[in-house]
Amino acid sequence: MVHKIKAYLEECRLQSSRTSDNVSLYAIMQRPMPEPDPELEAEMEAWEN
């Protein structure tokens, strides 16, 4: 879930010059999963310990 939201927010920053509609969390979750980010995975692993 974190990956999907992070990817959506990064996409929004790239598209900030144009207006966008409000997007629901459900719509974000229906998108395909992005490729795992090794840096984020390492950070999540560190938090679990």
Contact 37, 3 (CB under 8 A): yes
The domain total for the chain is 1
pTM of the model: 0.33
Residues near 2 by beta carbon (within 8 Å), at least 6 away in sequence = 40, 44
Q: What is the mean pLDDT of the chain?
A: 80
User: How far is it, in rounded angstroms, from Cα 15 to Cα 25?
Assistant: 18
pLDDT of residue 2: 77
12 token code pair: 């929004």
Flag whether pLDDT at 18 surpasses 60: no
Does an H or E element contain 40, and which?
helix 38-48
Domain coverage including residue 27:
2-48
> Which of the two residues, 32 and 12, has the higher pLDDT score?
32
